[in-house]
Structure 1
């Protein structure tokens, strides 16, 4: 049994399968989930677990070389926008409709219980060397 890090066996296993360039969509409860990517649904109740909790946990275990979010997050969800800007100085912002299109190419979708709008980010995996 793992004693630290991500304990959810489905999420931990999915993370171990990721490679350089793979996409991971971390999304709120309202984001449409495309057919194709593996989905680990962590949503329990509205707000649980939060986008922040899940993103921080993932970033502790992943090498991320890029991130893309919806431009609408700046006006609709300043808290999420601040979190993303602080974690990803080169954050790419695209229209929400474009983010939904891009999410179809993700290898993994991690759905949170977040109930604030536009709390979504598409991560691009890097390498540790």
Structure 2
């Protein structure tokens, strides 16, 4: 049995399959999930697990070379906007509609229990060397 890191076997296995350039959408409980990407649904109750907990857990295990968020997050959810700005040096903003379109190309979707609007980010995997 693993003793640290991500213990959820479905999420740990999905992360191990990712490669350079693959997309990982971390989303709130309300984000529409497109057909196609593998989905690991962590939502348990409203707010559990939080967007911040999941993002931080993923950043501890993944190399991320870029991130994309909805520009609406800046006005509608300042807490999530601050979190994203603090975690990602290479962060771009697009409309929420465009983020939903981009999410169809993600390899993995990780759904959180987050119940605040626009708490979504599309991560682009990098390499450790």
TM range (shorter): over 0.9
Consecutive unaligned residues in structure 2, runs of 5 or more: none
* Aligned match of 2:39: 39
1:59 aligns with 2:90: no
* Aligned match of 1:99: 99
Deviations 1:6-49 (A, max 9, x none): 00000000000000000000000000000000000000000000
- What SS does structure 2 have at the residue aligned with 1:105? coil
- Partner Cα separation in structure 1 for residue 124 and residue 15 of structure 2: 12
Consecutive unaligned residues in structure 1, runs of 5 or more: none
Q: TM-score, normalised by structure 1?
A: 0.99
Greater shift, 84-93 or 21-30, is seen at 84-93
The 5 Å alignment of 1:1-129 reads: 1-129=1-129
> What RMSD in Å do the two structures reach over aligned CA positions?
0.4
- What SS does structure 1 have at the residue aligned with 2:117? coil
> How much has 1:89 moved relative to structure 2?
2.4
Kindly tell me the number of residue pairs found equivalent between the two proteins: 129
> How much has 1:90 moved relative to structure 2?
2.3
- Partner Cα separation in structure 2 for residue 88 and residue 54 of structure 1: 15
> How much has 1:61 moved relative to structure 2?
0.1
Deviations 1:82-118 (A, max 9, x none): 0000111221000000000000000000000000000
